[in-house]
Homo-oligomer: A and B are copies of this chain.
């Protein structure tokens, strides 16, 4: 017969908890001293291990009490349903994680305008819930699923997505300035490089995507992170400048070669 503090030491369960288990009839002390001090036996230690194990598995004390007292308890279905519950919780946490990453990246894009980032995210998730039945299977998504999957994701943690996010964030900071400035042009060049690396010769796809981008409604319905119209215009402007500059470099090189 061991007293309560010994049990606590051996099982790492607090004295308070042991008394509570006694109180709710989950694990009662088999005997007491004349003065009323609880005395436990090895039997209780084992039972306590059981209880502790199932509690760590996420069972509620009442459930554990039921399964210990009921010799007809259906282990098979009980364990499986608990496993299903655990898997469901994992999915829930996974989606929480993705939303948090999306928010963190969104704040980076918005250059520290947190409320705006939160607002856009909420807007997106509302959109997502609505189901958008007509455009859900957009031709582009259906036609090129593999390319679509390669698009940078706001909830991603891969280096590619992160750089896109960083580039976009920088553009937004420079929007008041000159689209021909070297800072802007360097960013645009980097974007063009990445686009080339990731989508290569799929120009058709990239063009269509850009068209969608320029329509806020379509972008939203397809779950693309919302970008303000002026930012898009600025980027297009800068891109035109970039292209013509590249052209003139080429013709200059051609001239040089002569």
Contacts and interface: CB of A to CB of B under 8 A. Distances in A.
Q: Which of A76, A87, A93, A97 has most B Cβ within 10 Å?
A: A93
Interface of A: 46, 49-50, 53, 56-58, 75-76, 79-80, 82-83, 86-87, 89-90, 93-94, 96-97, 99-101, 103-104, 107, 114, 118-119, 121-122, 125
A100 B75 CA distance: 12
The list of the 7 closest CB pairs from A to B, nearest first, reads: A83-B100, A75-B114, A90-B93, A49-B122, A86-B97, A79-B104, A86-B96
A247 B117 CA distance: 74
Nearest to A94: B90
Contact of A100 (B79, B96, B100, B104): B79
Given A93-B90, A96-B57, A114-B75, A101 B83 contact: yes
Contact of A122 (B50, B58, B93, B107): B50
A119 B83 CA distance: 19
**Interface of A: prevailing SS:** helix
A225 to B, nearest CB: 16
A56 B96 contact: yes
Contacts of A94: 90
A131 to B, nearest CB: 15
B97 A87 contact: yes
A223 to B, nearest CB: 17
Nearest to A87: B97
A75 B121 CA distance: 15
Contact of A96 (B58, B97, B104): B58
A103 B76 CA distance: 10
Contacts of A83: 97, 100-101, 104
A65 to B, nearest CB: 16
Contacts of A90: 90, 93-94, 97
A120 to B, nearest CB: 11
